Amino acid sequence: MLTIKLNEHIIQCYVVYRKGKKVSITMDLPYMVTIKAPNGTSDEIIQQLVEQHGEIILKKSALMQQALEGPQAKDYEEEGSGKFLLLGKEYALHELIKVDGLSEEELRANLKKFYFAECKRVIGVRIGPYQQQLKVKPKSIDIVESPTKWGSCSWDKKLTFNYRLAMAPPEVIDYVIIHELCHIHHMNHDRSFWRRVGSIMPDYKTKEDYLMRNGRAMTL
Instruction: Indicate yes or no: pTM above 0.85.
Output: no
Distances (CA, A) of 123 to 100, 118, 120: 30, 8, 5
Is 59's pLDDT higher than 60?
yes
Q: What percent of the chain shows pLDDT beyond 70?
A: 92
Q: pLDDT (tens digit, 9 = 90+) per residue, 101-120?
A: 888 889 989 999 999 999 99
Average pLDDT over residues 119-125: 97
Compute the distance between CA of residue 167 and CA of residue 115 in angstroms, rounded to an integer.
Answer: 8
Q: pLDDT (tens digit, 9 = 90+) per residue, 8-45?
A: 888 888 888 888 788 888 876 788 888 888 998 888 88
Q: In 3D, which of 75, 24, 18, 76 has the Cα closest to residue 53?
A: 24
Structural domain boundaries in the chain: 2-69, 83-217
Average pLDDT over residues 79-84: 62
Alpha helices in the chain (DSSP H): 43-52, 54-69, 93-96, 104-134, 170-182, 191-200, 204-214
Long-range contacts of 86-92 (CB under 8 A, 24+ apart): 86/118, 86/166, 86/167, 87/122, 87/166, 87/167, 87/168, 87/169, 87/170, 87/173, 88/167, 88/168, 88/169, 88/170, 88/172
pLDDT band at 163 (very low <50, low <70, confident <90, very high): very high
Fold of 83-217: Zincin-like (3.30.2010)
Average pLDDT over residues 143-147: 90
